[in-house]
A and B are shown apart, each in its own frame.
Chain A
Amino acid sequence: MLKGPSRLKNRRSMLLRRHSALAGLLAATMLVTTPTGAQAASLAAAGSGPASFAANCGTQPVTMQGLFESGFPDIVDLTQLFTKQYPNVKWSIREDPFATITSNAPLILSGPNPPDLMRMPQITGLVKDHLLKNMDGYFNTFGWDRFPASDLEQMRVAPSGAPQGVGPLWALGINYSMTGVFYNKALAAKVGMTAAPATLAQLDAVLAKAKADGILPVEQFDSSGNGGLIFPLQYLMADYTIQASGSVAPINDWVLDEPHATVVTPANLQAVEHLDTWIKDGYFNPDANAVSYATMMSRFDAGTGLVIFDGDWESGGFDSHFPGKFGFFLFPPLKAGGKQGAMSAPLTYGIAATAKHANCAAFFLNWVETNSAARALNVAVGGSNPGGPASLPIPPVKPGTVTAQTLAAGQVIARDNGGMGFIANATGPIDAEAWTPAVQELFGGHLSPEGVLKTVQADYLQELSAP
């Protein structure tokens, strides 16, 4: 559930009605369906039951309802390929920006005609409300125990909505994104960066050199709702947490809402302070707080900025549109050769608890993860690790491409056990309500590093304790 590009690109495209004094009233009215215990119970029943059974799409004509995130062509391409192999299955697809899916998910999933397959926002609230299909039955049917357990961990949630990482399986990722640092090769050559920085100190030096040479060191988005400074912040948190604890486990505990987990740690404070020095040294574009993801990408594509902090969903686009122009490296560790951390999260899809064609949807998900043609398409278009059984090889890609670099980086993170959930996904509203405003205020000099962590932790506890 890492932030995808279109989630950010499309935030501005929502059409909203005028005269919004009534917006709240209408919002409440839209949710007018009287909540009853009976309804919740029936949904719970539909969503339960980890039995193993045959699940496929049959031979009769089936029209699958899909609700996908706009701007991600891989899933649509996969449905088309699936129809070629299983002609009785047709797709009726609606695409919405991620923000729209996030805000509408409970309403859509609790409605009379929920989609069979849906791009999932943060799932804890949906699990708590019994709106998702428990996929443990499919886990047994399709033998998903062949998948690396860590790949499925982020989609496991206790039925009460917390903690995450344990309990039934509620969704499946069609690919597994990896984050890191993209750099402009021409600008890197200008500042004498001939190889990826091996340590954080080396990265600091490269950024300082770029600044001194009049090159913008970092182009980053950080507009509201799109707090892009969280990317470098979490990389830094990983570095300092690995130094303090030997792994990124404390960060993952926080993301997975483990009891007593806290983001207010000395290691995280060092991370925010480090980010603060970058801000004060003027390494970021000065208008970051007003720059959207789309603007950042268009500027970087056009040659502005030595690096951006982003994810491998851009790899395919870089390879096809700007071959040879950009490179990728993992965020460097504090000490050369040390363990590295990166946000590694699945692009999750779930099935509505009351979906009409739940079995076919699960069959499709299994096909995406295991069919060789589907996996090859997934890597070529999605640019990320296709997941699936550990025994299956990753489809080959052209050596030297950005996609090849990001896939190789995935191996490093797997070796170091450095995969992290995204801190912006710890709770549903934590990104919009806490992280983004906090890093924006840090950027504007209105909040101290310590204040960032304390503000976020207070919001986190409040959200977790909400009834």
Chain B
Amino acid sequence: MTSAISPVRSIGESHLTAAPRALTKRRARGAQLRGWLFVIPALVAYAAFVLWPIFQTFRYSFYNWDGVDPAQWAGAQNYKTVFSNEQLIGVIGHAFELILFFSGIPVVLGLAVATVMRRFVTGRMSTVARTVLFLPQVVPLVAAGIAWSWMLSTTGVVDEVLSKVGLGSLAQSWLGGFNTALPAVGVIGAWVLLGLCTVLLYAGMTKVDPALYESAQLDGAGPFREFLAITLPALRQEVAVCVTVTVIAALSAFDIVYISTQGGPGDATMVPGLEIYQLAFYNRQVGLASALALVLMVLVIGCILPVQWFARRGAEQ
């Protein structure tokens, strides 16, 4: 009996358990479908305004086209030009030099400022300090470029201050000198990005358990040791975000350079973003501009991926 009943029971049981499973599956599928419905508008916009232009840029990069006349197939010639033209290689080099200013200064200085704020600035002062530091991020880059152009001119505040403190011999046209223009542009970028990095890093520091600092102090650790042993490792993710954002800003710099120097003097501050614009709209070499744009995109991704990998590895550890 048992053996006779058992299969029936088991079949009945399996029916009874299979139905909810199917229902669950259907529900899951329905939820998935609803999820896609929510995602689709954004996906369509992303495809139309990001993926499609990238595809078109990729397509154009294999043509010689002035934007109006019928395009002519150029094969890989535009890419060969990008990698063999000394001027274009120099332009890419400038972008990497800017990383020192756009990333190095904001991250290092941001860490220092955020540490000082965490230790010494509290309450309302902390809010005020963060707001003031973040302000440059809110100012449009065009406005920042204009303001800094005035400040860095020979009649600007920088040279005036230098003269007042007895360093008048250093006063010069910062944006007009071949040796000073790129660092001057870098300083503008550093000013813009310092606030963002500081606020991000400060936010990261607030999540560190204060007990860790107390323990370290009990063990006799000084501020510098605290910073190295506790703060810095805890901020791996935030530092990665800062480096990612600032490296992208450096490699894709356009606004600040266009406003403050337009790539000059000579080609001293020419960067890929501006070169792409000039090639497309002044030289009307859309194919070459597209090739340079794609090379720039690959460079940005190539620089960002290791940073992301480093951050993810840290999070896993």
- Seen from chain A, the residues whose Cβ lies within 8 Å of a Cβ on chain B are 11-12, 14-29, 31-32, 35-37, 40, 102-104, 106-107, 110, 125, 128-129, 131, 223-225, 286-291, 295, 428-429, 432-433, 436-438, 440-441, 443-444, 446-447, 463, 466-467
Query: Is B168 an interface residue when CB atoms closer than 8 A count as contact?
Result: no
Contact A224 B263 (CB under 8 A): yes
Q: Which residues of A contact B172 (CB under 8 A)?
A: 286-287
The contact of A28 among B53, B64, B140, B177, by CB within 8 Å, is B53
Known: A12-B149, A129-B69, A428-B284. 16 other contacts (CB 8 A): A12-B146, A12-B259, A25-B53, A25-B57, A27-B276, A28-B60, A35-B68, A40-B69, A287-B176, A290-B175, A433-B282, A436-B264, A438-B266, A440-B266, A444-B177, A467-B72
Contact A28 B290 (CB under 8 A): yes
Separation in Å of the B180 CB from the closest CB of chain A? 10
Q: Which residues of B contact A25 (CB under 8 A)?
A: 53-54, 57, 290, 293, 297
Q: Which residues of A contact B286 (CB under 8 A)?
A: 27-28, 31
Contact B66 A16 (CB under 8 A): no
Q: Which residues of B contact A26 (CB under 8 A)?
A: 53
Contact A28 B72 (CB under 8 A): no
Contact B283 A429 (CB under 8 A): yes
Question: For residue A15, which residue of chain B has the nearest CB?
Answer: B142
Q: Which residues of A contact B146 (CB under 8 A)?
A: 12
Residue picked from A19, A37, A224, A441, most chain B C-beta under 10 Å: A224
Q: Which residues of A contact B277 (CB under 8 A)?
A: 20, 23-24, 27
Question: In the complex, A19 Cα to B265 Cα: how many Å?
Answer: 23
Contact A29 B56 (CB under 8 A): yes
Query: Is B178 an interface residue when CB atoms closer than 8 A count as contact?
Result: yes
Q: Which residues of A contact B259 (CB under 8 A)?
A: 12
- Seen from chain B, the residues whose Cβ lies within 8 Å of a Cβ on chain A are 52-54, 56-57, 60, 64-72, 140-142, 146, 149, 153-154, 172-178, 248, 251-255, 258-259, 261-267, 272-273, 276-278, 280-286, 289-290, 292-293, 296-297, 300
Q: Closest 8 CB pairs between A and B?
A: A224-B264, A290-B176, A20-B254, A24-B293, A21-B252, A24-B276, A287-B173, A224-B262
The contact of B173 among A31, A289, A466, by CB within 8 Å, is A289
Contact B300 A21 (CB under 8 A): yes
Q: Which residues of A contact B253 (CB under 8 A)?
A: 20
Separation in Å of the A216 CB from the closest CB of chain B? 12
Contact B64 A24 (CB under 8 A): no
Question: In the complex, A32 Cα to B68 Cα: how many Å?
Answer: 10
Separation in Å of the B287 CB from the closest CB of chain A? 9
CB<8 Å pairs between A and B, sample of 11: A15-B140, A21-B251, A23-B254, A26-B53, A27-B289, A35-B65, A35-B71, A224-B262, A287-B173, A295-B153, A433-B278
Contact B297 A21 (CB under 8 A): yes
Separation in Å of the A220 CB from the closest CB of chain B? 12
Contact A24 B296 (CB under 8 A): yes
Separation in Å of the B129 CB from the closest CB of chain A? 25
Contact A36 B70 (CB under 8 A): yes
Contact A18 B255 (CB under 8 A): yes
Q: Which residues of B contact A28 (CB under 8 A)?
A: 53, 56-57, 60, 280, 286, 289-290, 293
A29-B57 contact in complex given A441-B266, A444-B265, C-beta closer than 8 Å:
yes
Residue picked from A22, A26, A125, most chain B C-beta under 10 Å: A22
Question: For residue B275, which residue of chain A has the nearest CB?
Answer: A24
Contact A131 B142 (CB under 8 A): no
